[in-house]
Amino acid sequence: MKKITQKLLTFSELAFNGLRDYWENHQVNKSISSGLAFIFVIGLGLSFLTSQDWIYLGQFELYFQNPFFAIEIVFTLLLILELLSLVFILPKSVAHAVGKQFELLSLIFIRSGFKEFGHLHNLTWKAIPDELYHMMAYALAALSIFVIMGFNYKMQMHSSLKINESDQKEFFQTKKALALLLLIAFVIIGLNDVIFLLQTGEYLHSFGRFYSVLIFSDIIIVLIALHYTLSYYRIFRYSAFVLATIFIRLALTTEIYFNVIIGVSAALFVLLLSASYNYFLKSLPDPELD
């Protein structure tokens, strides 16, 4: 059984490393950037042609009548790409993976701000609509998370797993296997969204669903860590990261104002966690797991 498990871990590691190297290739990143710019221009062109009644896009007609819909398209694609990057970051460092999740939340808030801007039709001071207040809330929340994560990364301290080399390798192989499963879940969720879009003309934006999968993956990492350490500080840190992911998931489903409050509060929670952990790490006698 152990030999079969080791073969599966080795295979998944090779597959993960190959996909990660391809994703992080500079030429691939350039192609993605060019593709996003091309899609943005095409979206603007379709919006213009639709607004002039020169073309008819069927069930997508209403979306492209809004000239700012092109912005929403490219930001949605950018968020999807960032979600994909999160999968490849997970095996490197759980702390960095959590930070990436908050980066994604800040981008989601920015995207929501652009989406609200598309609803503005009257920009006079005498008739300021609710959308403007929503934009301000999203902008301030995104900026707050950006600043908080900046401080969090600066104070981030890492400690290695103080075990033998074989167990260390097995631990990282297990995280890569888990990341590979996350990648499969990412593809399945994405395909489901595309099928629903083609059938109904409505995009689900299943960021919340993927974050739900992340919660379960984070819990699995906590359980895996128990195999290598019983240190209260490390287990608490991992468990607190899971709680932070749950807060992010809640922020994606609650109403405006409550979602930004939950998101910023969760970021502050992680910042306080990092500060506390770093302080106690200096006095811990046996540094272990990152």
Q: How confident is the prediction for the chain on average, in pLDDT?
A: 84
> Does any domain span residue 286?
no
pLDDT at 165: 66
- pLDDT higher for 129 or 197? 197
> Does any domain span residue 26?
yes
270 — pLDDT class (breaks 50, 70, 90): very high
166 — pLDDT class (breaks 50, 70, 90): confident
Rg (CA), the chain: 22
> Does any domain span residue 287?
no
Question: What mean pLDDT do residues 109-133 have?
Answer: 72
> Does any domain span residue 186?
yes
Range of the domain at 77: 2-281
Q: Does position 222 have pLDDT exceeding 80, yes or no?
A: yes
> Does any domain span residue 289?
no
> Does any domain span residue 99?
yes
Q: How many domains does the chain have?
A: 1
> Does any domain span residue 288?
no
pTM for the whole structure: 0.85
> Does any domain span residue 217?
yes
